[in-house]
Amino acid sequence: MLDSYYKETDEFQEIVRERMRDSFEHHWKKILGFEMGFDDYDFMYPVVPEQPLDNNSDSGIYAMMFIEHWTSPRTLLTSVFTSEDIPNIRIKIANDLVFQPKNTGMKHRVTHFNAEDA
């Protein structure tokens, strides 16, 4: 479980992890047609950058960074970024979206921006 906001011992995690396991097992059996014995597996809670408790709007940024950089249980996500990096990461993601080669939108609004006209 890669969660920047809730800890392993939080009540939220106690409820969610069992629901997730049940849902995952249900869909595994439904789609693949055989039992995997998921009850024999434990949940892992690696150390991840923590989202400040007064910030409930950046969960998506943390999730995107976890997905992009999580390669194995040995990955130390705390060495990749911290909560202080989130504003710059948000800018990078916005730039990546605007300047995607397949984005045919109005890039000139960024490339020819004049602060005096704003």
Say yes or no: 106 and 57 in one domain: yes
- Distance set, CA 103 to CA 33, 96, 98, 99, 110 (Å): 40, 10, 7, 7, 13
Structure tokens at 82: 């911290």
Task: State residue 38's pLDDT score.
Answer: 84
Q: Amino acid letter at 25?
A: E
Distance CA 89, CA 95 (A): 10
pLDDT in tens, 14-25: 999 989 999 999
Confidence check: pLDDT of 10 > 80: yes
Nearest to 51 by CA among 36, 65, 41, 38: 65
Confidence check: pLDDT of 41 > 90: no
Task: State residue 37's pLDDT score.
Answer: 85
Confidence check: pLDDT of 34 > 60: yes
Say yes or no: 68 and 39 in one domain: no
Say yes or no: 29 and 57 in one domain: no
Q: What share of the chain has pLDDT > 90, as a percent? A: 58
Rounded to an integer, the average pLDDT of 89-107 is 86
Structure tokens at 31: 């789609």
Could you tell me the residue range of the domain that residue 102 belongs to? 51-118
Question: How many domains are contained in the chain?
Answer: 2
Task: State residue 117's pLDDT score.
Answer: 63
Confidence check: pLDDT of 118 > 60: no
Say yes or no: 59 and 106 in one domain: yes
Say yes or no: 58 and 101 in one domain: yes
